[in-house]
Structure 1
Amino acid sequence: MEHITRSARRTAWAVTGGATALVLLTATGAHAEGRGDVRVTSTVVNGGKNVKVGTKAVVTFPIAMTVQDDSGVKGVTDLSAFNSSNGYGFFDWTGTTCVKKTSTTSVCTGTMKVDPAWIPNSDDINSNNIAGTWQAAATVKANDGDYWIHDRIALFKVKRASAPTVNAGPEPVAKGGTLTVAGKLSRASWESLKYYGFAGTVLLQHRPSGSSDYRTVKTVTADGSGLLRTKVTVSSAGTWRWYFPGTTTTARAASAGDYVALG
């Protein structure tokens, strides 16, 4: 695995065929260089969903690019992704497959991969600061020798995984009685590869017996250690859970449900 850091992102991208090299000096603006009319006309990252990375599981996701040229599409020769604000990135490009749709258009899908164990050594800053808005960059080529390099074919979110837990009691509880719902909100640290509690805003939700839908009962903010605790008056048996809606850098998640009967 080849780790790609901020300094590597800002080196010149050499282009074959005697063309002038494109130098990407910043990660905050979009830069393009090319010859001819080959273009990436649209890009979908991870099916339009955020990319969530935890501490152990290997993460892969697709970047699907619609590429057009009047001579037909030869392929993708470079694909990368990095944080739009600071230029750091930790995903590897593992390959691309192109499917011809018409004589001038192909959909090329590249696969990006990261093992969280790579992340702490992929940069020289606090790796948690890499979460947030990212951009994808690509070099595409056509059958007639046209090429196009662009460092922002799409913007998307890469987020730290979160993991709320729940525990409700007493069990059972009398109808009209008071139920205490506790738990903890934790999120992944890409520096230590462990989960730590943090003070996020979480929704307490209840699903009555016989229902398939949760409804929000109240909003609670976890303390600095991520601990959650609140009291509710119970009118029916059912399942309780904490739902964290996420932030710009931390992924949304729901705890497992805790069923509480009436007694």
Structure 2
Amino acid sequence: MRISSTAATLGTVLALSASALAVAPAASAAQAAPAANTGVKIDKLVVNGGKPIVIGTGQNEKFSISVTVSDNSGIDHKGLPYLGIKREVGDNYWGYFLEPTCKAKNRTTSVCTSNFTSEPKGYDLPRNYFAGNWQVYLQFTAKDGDYYGAYHGTHPFQRRAALTVDAGPEPVRKNKNLTITGKLSRANWDTLRYAGYTNQPVKLQFRKKGTNSYSTVKLVKTNSTGNLKTTVKATTDGYWRWNFPGTTSTSTTLTSGDFVDVR
């Protein structure tokens, strides 16, 4: 079974189950062949401000696709422009597609933008196995009839990560052991909950009181439930934090610093 999405009129994408791919106006969203060189040019593509699209489980998440596109005759704003992002895994499919709002920049060039909203509480979430790099789909028609319809690169679409930290005892005697704990979890799109992210390397970082930058002390791997625990020598006052660099499927995250008074 293929899992697909269809576009709603107010910029929200609703998740549906279907036996076929969702079909875009005037063209199938499943078209993957490169666009012919018709004269329509993609001058600039910006997805989510250049940042990965990160989706959690309990709040609406917004992202956008913005394209600067040109043709010597100009872009037809009523010619069914269409923007989207999707991924296929085996026979399964999930995508977000919307007709954009287009504004002319000059006689030949337009900027077209689609604003999307993923609504976890409405079960508008892909399944976990869709996390990773998604294909970006662009469709435009020029005023002279030139057509562009193709996938144009990929963009990361990730599960949101969460991280905690606790350093103790507080205060601690100088050169005594200090224990730093925490937990790394990530959004489970299948259950709409967060669960521990296991066997992942996380940086333990320290910032000395009165300074502005953190340095990495060691790497610690999460255990079978996503928990972190390590011991260091307490030598000076400062802030301890965990920093997770992320993976292809999961976002980066870091904690605020937990201050420890060393006496």
1:24 is aligned to 2:23: no
Give identity over the alignment, percent.
37
In 2, Cα distance between the equivalents of 1:160 and 1:203? 19
Residues 89, 24 of structure 1: alpha-carbon distance in 2 compared, 3 angstrom cutoff: closer
Q: Which residue of 2 aligns with 1:160?
A: 159
Specify the SS of the correspondent of 1:47.
helix
1:97 is aligned to 2:97: no
Residues 85, 235 of structure 1: alpha-carbon distance in 2 compared, 3 angstrom cutoff: same
**Cα offset, 1:96, TM superposition:** 2.2
**Cα offset, 1:35, TM superposition:** 8.9
In 1, Cα distance between the equivalents of 2:63 and 2:167? 36
Residues 149, 90 of structure 1: alpha-carbon distance in 2 compared, 3 angstrom cutoff: closer
Deviation by residue 1:22-44 (Cα, 9 ceiling, x = unmatched): 6837xxxx414569422334312
- Normalising to structure 1: TM-score of the pair? 0.84
Q: Which residue of 1 aligns with 2:10?
A: none
Q: Which residue of 1 aligns with 2:147?
A: 147
- Normalising to structure 2: TM-score of the pair? 0.84
1:188 is aligned to 2:194: no
**Cα offset, 1:53, TM superposition:** 0.6
Q: Is the 8 A contact 2:202 2:244 kept in 1?
A: yes
Q: Is the 8 A contact 1:4 1:90 kept in 2?
A: no
Specify the SS of the correspondent of 2:134.
strand
Structure 1 residues without counterparts, runs of 5 or longer: 16-20
Residues 66, 6 of structure 1: alpha-carbon distance in 2 compared, 3 angstrom cutoff: farther
Quick one: which amino acid aligns to residue 188 of structure 2? Answer: S
In 2, Cα distance between the equivalents of 1:5 and 1:138? 23
In 2, Cα distance between the equivalents of 1:6 and 1:99? 34
**Cα offset, 1:149, TM superposition:** 1.3
RMSD: 2.5
In 2, Cα distance between the equivalents of 1:111 and 1:105? 20
Structure 2 counterparts to residues 112-127 of structure 1, below 5 A? 112-119=116-123, 127=127
Q: Which residue of 1 aligns with 2:45?
A: 43
Quick one: which amino acid aligns to residue 107 of structure 1? Answer: V
Residues 181, 23 of structure 1: alpha-carbon distance in 2 compared, 3 angstrom cutoff: closer
Residue among 10, 15, 19 paired with 1:3 = 15
In 2, Cα distance between the equivalents of 1:241 and 1:196? 20
Structure 2 counterparts to residues 160-239 of structure 1, below 5 A? 160-199=159-198, 200-239=200-239
Q: Is the 8 A contact 2:119 2:125 kept in 1?
A: no
Residue among 93, 98, 111 paired with 2:115 = 111
In 1, Cα distance between the equivalents of 2:105 and 2:30? 31
Quick one: which amino acid aligns to residue 168 of structure 1? Answer: A
Quick one: which amino acid aligns to residue 108 of structure 1? Answer: C
Q: Which residue of 1 aligns with 2:133?
A: 133
In 2, Cα distance between the equivalents of 1:58 and 1:205? 32
**Cα offset, 1:159, TM superposition:** 0.5
Residues 208, 8 of structure 1: alpha-carbon distance in 2 compared, 3 angstrom cutoff: farther
Deviation by residue 1:3-38 (Cα, 9 ceiling, x = unmatched): 2568543x66563xxxxx66837xxxx414569422
Aligned residue pairs: how many? 247
Residues 163, 3 of structure 1: alpha-carbon distance in 2 compared, 3 angstrom cutoff: same
Residues 186, 175 of structure 1: alpha-carbon distance in 2 compared, 3 angstrom cutoff: same
Structure 2 residues without counterparts, runs of 5 or longer: 1-12
